[in-house]
Structure 1
Amino acid sequence: MRILVTGAAGFIGSTLSERLLARGDDVLGYDNLNDYYDPTLKEARLAKLTPHANFRFVRGSLEDRPTLERAFADFRPQRVVNLAAQAGVRYSLTNPYAYIEANLVGFINVLEACRHGGVEHLVYASSSSVYGANRKLPFSVQDAVDHPVSLYAATKKANELMAHTYSHLYRLPTTGLRFFTVYGPWGRPDMALFLFTRKILAGEPIEVFNHGKHTRDFTYIDDIVEGVIRTLDRVPDGDPAFDPLRPNPGSSAAPYRVYNIGNNQPVELARYIEVLEQKLGRSAEKILLPLQPGDVPDTYADVAELSRDTGYTPSTPVEVGIDRFVDWYRAFYRV
C-alpha cells in the first residue's frame, strides 16, 4: 500500500515507518523536524529510513496547508497515519498556541486532505490524557472523557470529535488511538525514562513528581507499533450494534473507532525508577515533588476492544523495555 505517515521523524512515526517498509509498503514521511526537542535525534531517526527505495520524505508542518496538499496530491496515499502533533502536557501550560496550530489547525488540514484525496483509512494519534479527571480504573473507551485537565488533552479530545464528524459526513473511515506512555529505544528526550537516564549517568538529581506514587501504563514501542499496524489494516465500518439512545463513545454508526493502546499493566513510577537504577548500576538522587499541574495520578488502559477487534496483545514488561532502552542510549550517546 501507499501509506503517508506524518511525524515520520518522531519516536513512534520512525519506528512505524521502518516496519511498514520492511513489509513492502511505499511510505511517504512528512515531518517539520521542529526544535521542540533536539532535531539531531529526529535527523538520526530519519537517516535510518532514507536508504529504503520505497521511502520518500517531505519536510513540512501540518498547519502548512499548501505543502501538505501537494504531498497528498503527489503521493496519492491509500492510507494515512497521523502521528505529527505538538506533544507534551507541561509544555502546553507555557505555549498553548503551539497546540492550537499543530493539533487543531493541522488536524483539520489532514482531514480535508484525506477527504478530497479519497483516502481509504485515517489512523490518528489520540492520547490517554483525554481521560483527564476520570478516576475509574482501568480507563475504558466506553467512558465519557469530558473533563480534560490540560490543553494538550483538550486538543486530542477535539481531534476525536473532528474525526467523527468527517466519518459521519463524508464516510471517511477513521480510527483514533489513545496512546499510553510510550517508551523504548529512540524515545523522546522530554519523557521520564530519557530524562532519568541522562541525569543518573551524569550524576545529577532527578525530579520525581507525586513522590513517585503515581502509576503509568508504560507501553513499549514495539507493542505500540504492532497495534498501530493492526488497526491500520482493519478499516472500520459503522457499528451495527450502535444505539443512539445509549451511545457508546468508542464506536458509531459512522465508520469510526477509538481504541486504547497500552500495556494493560500499570507500574508505579517508583518501581520504574528502581528497574532503571538496577540496569544502570547506580542509585538516583531523588528530588521528591508534588503532582504537576495538568498531570493525572494514574493511567491504566483497558484494551479489550482493541484485542477483540485486532488480536492486539502487548507482551513487553518494563524490565525488558528499560533494558533495551538503556542499551540503545549508551550506544547512541557513547556513555
Structure 2
Amino acid sequence: MKYLVTGTAGFIGFYVARKLCELGHEVVGLDNLNSYYIQKLKHDRLEQLKSYSNLQFVQMDLADRADIAQLFQTEKFQRVIHLAAQAGVRYSLENPMAYIDSNLVGMATILEGCRHNEVEHLVYASSSSVYGMNSKMPYSTKDAVDHPVSLYAATKKANELLAHSYSHLYKLPTTGLRFFTVNGPWGRPDMAAWKFTQAILEGKPINVFNHGELQRDFTDIEDILEGIIRIQDVIPKGKEGFSNDDPGRSSAPYRVYNIGNNQPVKLMDFINAIEKACGKEALKNYLPMQAGDVYATYADVDDLMKDVGFKPKIKIDETMNRFVGWYRNWC
C-alpha cells in the first residue's frame, strides 16, 4: 500500500510514518519543517526514519497548491493520513494567519489531491478543541460543536465540514480523528508535559492555570498510534437514507471519531506523575484560567472501540516515566 503521511517531522506523524514502514508499506512523508518549535527536534525525528528504505521524505508547504497537486499526480497515493497542521491553541491568538494557511488552505489542497487521484481513504487530524466550552461529559461526536473558543478549534471544525462536503459531492471516504491530549517520547515542546518536565528539572516554577482545577483526557502516543493504524483500514461507506441527525456520521462516506483515553486526569495528578518521574517536586505558580482554554476534556470513545477494538491501556504514570526518560536523554 502506498501512503502519504503529512506532518512526518511532527510528533504523531513521526510515529505513524515509522509504523507504516515497519508494516512494509511504501510511505511518502511530507513536512514544511517550519520554525513553530525547535527545528532540531523535527530533524532528529526524521533522522530516526532514515533507516527505512520504504520512506521518502519531501519538504513541502501544504499551502503550495501547484506543488501539492503535482505530488499527488506523480506519486498516485492509495491512502492519505493527513496530520500536518499549525498546532497550539494559544499561538492562534498571536499568529492567526498561520492557521488559515496551514489548517484551511492545507486541508483544501489535500482534499483536492485526494479527489483528483482516486485516493481510497483520507484519515485526517481533528481535535478535542472543537468541543469548546461544552459542559456535557464525556464529549461525544453526537454533540453539536458550533461554538469554538479559539481559532485553532474553528479551523479543525472547518476541516470536518470541508471533509464532509468532499465525501458528499465526490464520494471521497474521509475519517476525522478528534485527538485529545497526546503525550509520550518525542512530544512537542509547547505541550504541558515538556514545559513542566523542563521547569522541574531546572528548578524553575511551573504555571498552574485555573489554580489546578482542570482535567485532561491524557492519552499515550502508543495508544493513539494503535487507533490510527486500525482506523485507516475501516473505510466509511455511508448509509443510504441516513437522517444526518448524528454529526459524526452521514449518508456520505464520512466519519468522525474521538480518539482519547476515556479516563480524564486531574491536572494536579498529572503534575504529580511528572514529579515522580523527575524525582523532584515542582515549584508551582498558581494562575487564573487562560483565554481560549477549557476546563475539562473527556472523550467518549465507544464508537472507535466498537469499530476497531480501540481501548487505551497505558496509564499516565507510565507515560510520564517514558517521556521524562526520553527527555533527559534527548536534552
Q: Find the counterpart in structure 1 of residue 292 from structure 2.
A: 294
User: Which runs of 5 or more structure 2 residues have no equivalent in the other structure?
Assistant: none
Task: Give CA deviations for 1:71-104 in whole Å, capped at 9, x if unaligned.
Answer: 2122211000110000000000111111111111
TM value normalised by structure 1: 0.97
Could you tell me which amino acid in structure 1 is paired with residue 78 of structure 2?
Answer: Q
Is residue 242–residue 248 contact of structure 1 (8 Å, CA) maintained in 2? no
Question: What is the distance in 1 between the residues matched to 2:323 and 2:241?
Answer: 42
Question: What is the distance in 1 between the residues matched to 2:232 and 2:20?
Answer: 11
Q: Find the counterpart in structure 1 of residue 264 from structure 2.
A: 266
Q: Which consecutive segments of 4 or more residues in structure 1 shift more than 4 A?
A: none
Root mean square deviation, CA, Å: 0.9
Question: What is the distance in 1 between the residues matched to 2:15 and 2:113?
Answer: 24
Question: What is the distance in 2 between the residues matched to 1:241 and 1:143?
Answer: 21
Matched, 1:28 2:28: yes
Q: Find the counterpart in structure 1 of residue 153 from structure 2.
A: 153
Q: Find the counterpart in structure 2 of residue 70 from structure 1.
A: 70
Secondary structure of 1:73's match?
helix
Is residue 81–residue 123 contact of structure 1 (8 Å, CA) maintained in 2? yes
Q: Find the counterpart in structure 1 of residue 115 from structure 2.
A: 115
Alpha-carbon offset, residue 320 of structure 1: 0.7
Question: What is the distance in 1 between the residues matched to 2:240 and 2:230?
Answer: 21
Q: Find the counterpart in structure 2 of residue 82 from structure 1.
A: 82
Could you tell me which amino acid in structure 1 is paired with residue 237 of structure 2?
Answer: D
Alpha-carbon offset, residue 70 of structure 1: 2.3
Q: Find the counterpart in structure 2 of residue 283 from structure 1.
A: 281
TM value normalised by structure 2: 0.99
Alpha-carbon offset, residue 61 of structure 1: 1.0
Could you tell me which amino acid in structure 2 is paired with residue 183 of structure 1?
Answer: N
Give the one of 316, 322, 325 matched to 2:323.
Answer: 325
Question: What is the distance in 2 between the residues matched to 1:179 and 1:303?
Answer: 11
Q: Which deviates more from structure 2 when the two are superposed, residues 76-85 or residues 59-68? A: 59-68
Question: What is the distance in 1 between the residues matched to 2:55 and 2:114?
Answer: 20
Could you tell me which amino acid in structure 1 is paired with residue 194 of structure 2?
Answer: F
Alpha-carbon offset, residue 51 of structure 1: 1.8
Secondary structure of 1:294's match?
coil
* Percent identical: 59
Could you tell me which amino acid in structure 1 is paired with residue 284 of structure 2?
Answer: K
Matched, 1:255 2:257: no
Task: Give CA deviations for 1:120-164 in whole Å, capped at 9, x if unaligned.
Answer: 000000000000021100000000000100000000000000000
Q: Which deviates more from structure 2 when the two are superposed, residues 230-239 or residues 34-43? A: 230-239
Secondary structure of 2:189's match?
coil
Q: Which deviates more from structure 2 when the two are superposed, residues 60-69 or residues 170-179? A: 60-69
Secondary structure of 2:19's match?
helix
User: Where does 1:227-238 land on structure 2 (aligned, <5 Å)?
Assistant: 227-238=227-238
Alpha-carbon offset, residue 240 of structure 1: 5.0
Q: Find the counterpart in structure 2 of residue 312 from structure 1.
A: 310
Could you tell me which amino acid in structure 1 is paired with residue 198 of structure 2?
Answer: R
Question: What is the distance in 2 between the residues matched to 1:307 and 1:184?
Answer: 22
Question: What is the distance in 2 between the residues matched to 1:254 and 1:292?
Answer: 38
Is residue 182–residue 220 contact of structure 1 (8 Å, CA) maintained in 2? yes
Alpha-carbon offset, residue 69 of structure 1: 1.7
Secondary structure of 1:142's match?
coil
Question: What is the distance in 2 between the residues matched to 1:76 and 1:195?
Answer: 40
Task: Give CA deviations for 1:221-269 in whole Å, capped at 9, x if unaligned.
Answer: 011111111111111110357224xx10000000000000000000011
Question: What is the distance in 2 between the residues matched to 1:239 and 1:138?
Answer: 26
Question: What is the distance in 1 between the residues matched to 2:30 and 2:50?
Answer: 12
Question: What is the distance in 2 between the residues matched to 1:59 and 1:165?
Answer: 28
Could you tell me which amino acid in structure 2 is paired with residue 122 of structure 1?
Answer: L
Question: What is the distance in 2 between the residues matched to 1:252 and 1:11?
Answer: 30
Task: Give CA deviations for 1:250-292 in whole Å, capped at 9, x if unaligned.
Answer: 0000000000000000001111001111111111111111110
Matched, 1:207 2:207: yes
Q: Find the counterpart in structure 2 of residue 4 from structure 1.
A: 4
Alpha-carbon offset, residue 117 of structure 1: 1.1
Could you tell me which amino acid in structure 2 is paired with residue 268 of structure 1?
Answer: K
Could you tell me which amino acid in structure 1 is paired with residue 6 of structure 2?
Answer: T
